[in-house]
Every structure is written in structure tokens, then in C-alpha cells.
Amino acid sequence: MTLLRALLLLAGLLAALPFPAQSAGKSNPPSSQSVQIGTVNGSAQVTINQTVKQVRQADPKLAEAVLKLSEQLGKKDDEARGLRDENSRLQQQLEIARAGLRLAQEAASPGADADVAAARAAFLKGDTRLAEALFRKREQALVAEGRARLAEAAALARERGALVSGRDTGAAVDAYRQAADYEPDNAENWWNLGDAHIAQGDLTGARNAYQRFHGLAKAKADREPGNSEGQHNLAASHERIGDLLVFQGNLAATLAEYRKAEKVIERLAATDPANSEWQRDLSVSYNKIGDVQVSQGDLPAALAAYRKALEIRERLAARDRAGMNAQWQTDVVVSCFKIGKLAPAAEALPLLRRGLEILRRLDQQGRIDANQASWRGIVEKLIETRRGAL
């Protein structure tokens, strides 16, 4: 299959998505207290918020630069509309936050050298090249000290890859490959490398990296069935393999991989029904399955999957009595739109109107970005279309 045909097939899947460039995680402006990312990894969401908080405590100006860089990364992903989903964005934004924390701590330490001060000054202006060079220099020094320092060198390489990813996909691949070379048994390194290959358009490289990612994730999940992080990585590896199968035109195999991910996430969610992130993870999984079923022409099955996702999202939104969690609120909008395209008009129209009202409220409160605000026109147009079908 040519790349063009593969992209056209992927466009069929993307047509099942609610809006031209849905952004799952940019409801808050850069000055917000934490990076709100629509992730399927709840533990990582907590980690990124904590890391940004640490950066802010150490260096408030640098924290703002970290948040702005993360925001720019999200916008780039929206424009690319490739396979990298909210998980990929989260992984990179987490590494950016860690890079910012590293710079903040080093700049604040007594006797900080001129290279650190220069890297911090450039970072504040949105230029990460000096930080990238500094981290590469530190990596090389750690490697020279021996294998005991390779894990730390890998962490620096991941941070460097995240910093450069928005500007140079080839350099990002090199950085993540270096991390995998330093620490080949760390599944996260292969996950990052696969995502970087996708951004570069190298499907063969992505497949090889994701296969390594899956092998490591499955081995850990088998060894430690009670380890939630290991189970999450296993689910993510199935999703990544499924994403690649789209390019091969094999929707049946794609759906099979998404089903495997679904089973893992269902088990996680069942272990802790109060865990809102795991519940949301499950709703995302249902939507991915529904999107494939739409592309297969199995609209009744897709509608059933979308309804299951909406049921979860409505429960989460009900917990948000003040309506302050923009992520949960926009999730409901997405589900209303998906169902609104497929369901009978009597079911679809109330849902679409509800979604429109949520968008209007969030827009008035300034809690969604310009892209999400543009969804209003799309929903309004669908309402008119469905009303005409009555």
C-alpha cells in the first residue's frame, strides 16, 4: 500500500472523529497552574502536574516557558493530525516539564556554570537549542562514567527528544533512539521512539519500535499482573500496533488490537471504579473502537460503542458539579457529536443541543481554545442537517 493510500484510509478513520482537529488537552491557557492533557494515563497526569508545580516553585518564569512550549507542541500535533494521540502529547509534555525542572534546579544551585544560565535564558525565549546541547553534553559524560549512569543518561535523552520534537523530527528520532540504546529494557524508550518515527513518516521504524515496546510491556504485565503502570503500557502497545495496521488497510486487525487494549483497560477500571482517569481511559477506548467500526460500515456497533463512552463521560461530568473540569465537559461534547451523527434524530438532536450549550458556556468563560470554539459552527450545522431529516 502506498503512503498516499494509507493516508486516505486513515482519513476515513479520522472522519469518524468529531471535529477537524480535536485537541483533547488545551482547555487551559499557558498561565494555568498545570498542563491539562487529555491523557489515558492517569498516573502520568499526576506526575506532570507535580513536575510543573516543582518548576514553578523553583523558577516561576521558567515554568511559564515550559507551559508555553507544551502548548505549542499541542498545536503542532493538531496541525499534523497524524497517529500521535493524547498519550504521545502527554509523554512529550512530561519530558519537557522534567527538562524545565532540571534547568531550574541547576540554575538555582550555587556555582551554576555559564552554560546553564545561557540555556535557561534561551529557554525563557522559547529557544531550546542550548538546553538540547547541554543535555547531550551531560549524556556523554554520564555514559563515560559507566553503565551505572545509563538510566540517567536515558532520561536526559528523552528530555532532549521532547525539546527538539517540535522543530526537528529527525533529531527527535536520534534522541529517542539514543535513550533506547542507553536503556533498552525500558518500554517507555521504545514507545517514544515509535511515536517519533510516526511523526517522521517512517512506518517501518515505528513498527519495529512498537514491537519492542509491546514485547517489554507484555513481559512486565505477565510478571506483575497487579502493576497498573505495566497494564497500562500493555494496553497502549496494543493501541499503537492497531494504529499502524490502519496504514496497512487492515481494519479487522486494527479492531482486534483495539479490543485487546479495551480488555486491559476494562480490568483496570473495574479494580477502582472511583478512579476518574481510568474511567476516562475506558471511554477513549470505546470511541477508538467505534471509529474503526464506522470505517467498516458497521454503524450499529459503532453507535453502541459511542453510547458506552458517553455513559462514562456523563458520570464523570456529573462529579464536576461546578462545571470547572473543561476536559470532562468537552469529552461529553465529543460523545454527543459522535452519537449525533449516527443515532435517530429523536435521540441525536437533544444530545447535539446539549453539546452546543456546553461549548457556548465554556467559550464564554474563556476555558477552551480557538479550535475548540470553532466546534460550535460544526455542531450547529449538524443540528440543522439532522433537523431537516425529521
Q: Which position has the grid cell 521558567?
A: 62
More confident residue, 348 or 90: 348
Give the integer Cα–Cα distance in Å for 38 and 238. 19
| Kind plus residue range of the DSSP H or E element containing 207 | helix 203-223
pLDDT band for 34, please (50, 70, 90 cuts): very low
**Per-residue cell: 259:** 479490543
Average pLDDT, integer, range 335-363: 95
Q: Summarize the confidence of residues 314-330 as an average pLDDT.
A: 87
Nearest one of 108, 338, 89 to 196, comparing CA atoms? 89
The set of cell numbers assigned to 307 is 453510547
pLDDT at 8 over 90: no
Specify the pLDDT at position 292: 95
Residue predicted with more confidence, 171 or 112: 171
Residues 6 or more apart whose CB falls under 8 angstroms from that of 350 comprise none
Q: Kindly report which listed range (50-54, 171-175, 315-319) carries the lowest average pLDDT score.
A: 50-54
Predicted local distance difference test score (pLDDT) of residue 390? 67
Give yes or no for residue 387 having a pLDDT over 80.
yes
CB 335 within 8 A of CB 313: yes
Burial bucket for residue 301 (CB in 10 Å: 0-12, 13-18, 19+):
middle
Residue 205 — very low, low, confident or very high, per pLDDT cuts 50/70/90?
very high
Helix (H) or strand (E) holding 351: helix 345-364
CA distance 145 to 226: 35
**Per-residue confidence (pLDDT) for residue 72, from 0 to 100:** 63
pLDDT band at 68 (very low <50, low <70, confident <90, very high): confident
Residue 311 is predicted with a pLDDT of 97
pTM of this prediction? 0.71
- Single-letter code of the amino acid located at 190: W
Question: What are the distances in angstroms from CA 217 to CA 222, 226, 248, 279, 300?
Answer: 9, 13, 23, 21, 33
Measured CA to CA, the distance from residue 78 to residue 34 in angstroms comes to: 20
| Average pLDDT value for residue range 295-315 | 97
**HSE-up (13 A, CA, CB side) for residue 280:** 25
Provide the residue ranges of all domains of the chain, joining segments of one domain with +. 29-203
Is the pLDDT at 143 greater than 70, yes or no? Answer: yes
Torsion of CA 377, 283, 73, 361, to 10 degrees: 40
Q: Round the average pLDDT of the chain to a whole number and report it.
A: 82
